[in-house]
Structure 1
Amino acid sequence: MDKIIEFKTTLLPFDGAKKLVNANNSESDLLYKEYYDLGDGKQICTLVFERYFFRTGGRGSLTIILENVSGPNKVKCIPSGSAEGILNIDWGASKDFVRWVENALSSYTLEEPQR
């Protein structure tokens, strides 16, 4: 998967980030989090998670950007590092990682994620 997955949500970025951090299980490590309040109700959050995938024998990361600076509340998921070999095959690992975010925020999603 080499594409950014994006969807709109009813949650403000700080609230969405809190839900994701609280929904995280022991399978993923939260490596980094950053929150900015830009005033006028504008917020941006960055979360970076890492997970080991048995199917690829390696670790993959997922960068999640939650923002409402450029319009409505958006969640952007950027998976990376889960592929193996010269053909860059990840055996669905990155899709599973992104699906975790989609499931955690499904009650607040306004539209289907763009793939």
Structure 2
Amino acid sequence: MSKLTLKVNLSPLEALAKVTEVMGVDLVHEEQHKLDGGLEIGTLIFEKYYMRVKNRIALIVIADNFQGSTEIRAIATASSEGIIFNFDWGAGDSFLRELEGILEPYVTHAEWVD
């Protein structure tokens, strides 16, 4: 499992719209909410087959502005090959890098978590 946190200078729903229009993989779930006071939250769940791990990988993207600026949290999971070994040959990181590349012009801070 790989994790990436980004702060961007877009609203959460604008950021998710950019990701949705560019990400060329299966979008399996999308949810967006506008709350009182200009607060927004949204979730996207993508799935993609990676040959190197012989598995479909899920990318969960959550965006909100609850702390005053837009924060995107992304988690790539199911990226390891087999039941016993939790080694993904970099497939999870590759999926996250696709997301990071889409939002790169708007990123003010990025933090990778292993």
- Give the TM bin, normalised by the shorter chain: over 0.9
Equivalents in 2 of 1:69, 1:81: separation in Å? 28
Q: Normalising to structure 1: TM-score of the pair?
A: 0.92
Counterpart code for 1:37: K
Equivalents in 2 of 1:114, 1:91: separation in Å? 17
Secondary structure of 1:110's partner? strand
Q: Choose which of 49, 66, 76 in structure 2 pairs with 1:69.
A: 66
Secondary structure of 2:92's partner? helix
Aligned residues: 112
> Per-residue deviation at 1:72?
1.3
> Per-residue deviation at 1:7?
1.3
Counterpart code for 1:16: A
- Which structure 1 segments of 5+ residues have no match? none
Verify: 1:49 aligned to 2:57, yes or no.
no
Once the two structures are superposed, the pairs formed by residues 26-37 of structure 1 within 5 Å of their partners are 28-37=25-34
- Which structure 2 segments of 5+ residues have no match? none
Q: Normalising to structure 2: TM-score of the pair?
A: 0.93
> Structure 1 segments of 4 or more deviating over 2 A?
112-115
Equivalents in 2 of 1:97, 1:105: separation in Å? 13
Once the two structures are superposed, the pairs formed by residues 1-115 of structure 1 within 5 Å of their partners are 2-25=1-24, 28-85=25-82, 86-115=84-113
Computed over aligned residues only, the root mean square deviation of the Cα atoms, in angstroms, reads: 1.1
Which structure is higher in helix share?
2
> Per-residue deviation at 1:50?
0.1
Equivalents in 2 of 1:10, 1:55: separation in Å? 34
> Per-residue deviation at 1:71?
3.0
